[in-house]
Amino acid sequence: MKAERTTSSYVLTMGVLGLLVVGSFVAYQVYAAVVKSQITTEQKKAIKPLDGKIEEEAVSNLKERRQFGAAELNQKLSFDVVVEEEIETINETVATVSGETLESSQEASETGKVEEGNEN
C-alpha cells in the first residue's frame, strides 16, 4: 500500500502553483506595458523630428533687433503722444448718417457710441 500524503503537502503544492500563475500573470502584464506604445496614431502624425537646421532669416532678424541700454530701460514710458494721435485720427474719421457729416457730439448720440469725456 501507498503511504497517504498529508494535507500540508497538498496545501504547499497548491500554494506554489498559485504563486506561479500569479507571478506569470504579473510578468506578462509588465511585459505588455513595456512593449505597448502609449502614443496614439494622431500623436505620431503630429510629432515632427528635430532636423537641427537653423533658418538664416531668423538669425538675421535676431541680429537686426534693437538693443536697449540701461538708461532707456529705466526711462518712464509715455503714451500721451500715441493717444493724442489716435484721438485726432478718430476725430478726422467722423461717421456719416445718410450722407451728412456729423459733429462729434451728434455722432455719439445718434450712433449710440459713448460720448467724449465718458470712459465707460
Which residue in 118, 112, 94 sits closest to 104, CA to CA? 94
In angstroms, rounded to a whole number, what is the distance separating the alpha carbons of residues 97 and 107?
9
**Domain spans in the chain, listed from the N-terminal domain onward:** 7-37, 76-120
Segments in the chain below pLDDT 50 = 95-98, 104, 107-108, 113-120
What is the predicted pLDDT for the residue at 100?
A: 53
What is the predicted pLDDT for the residue at 46?
A: 85
What predicted TM-score, i.e. pTM, was given to this entire model?
0.33
